[in-house]
Amino acid sequence: MPKKIDPQLRARCVRLVREHLQEYPTLTAAVTAVARQEGVSRESVRRWLAQAEVDDGTLSRPLHSVRTFCESSVSI
Instruction: Annotate 8-74 with three-state secondary structure.
Output: HHHHHHHHHHHHHHHHCCCHHHHHHHHHHHHCCCHHHHHHHHHHHHHHHCCCCCCHHHHHHHHHHHC
Give the pLDDT score at 57: 83
Q: Mean per-residue pLDDT for 47-67?
A: 76
pLDDT in tens, 18-53: 999 999 999 999 999 999 999 999 999 999 999 999
pLDDT of residue 15: 96
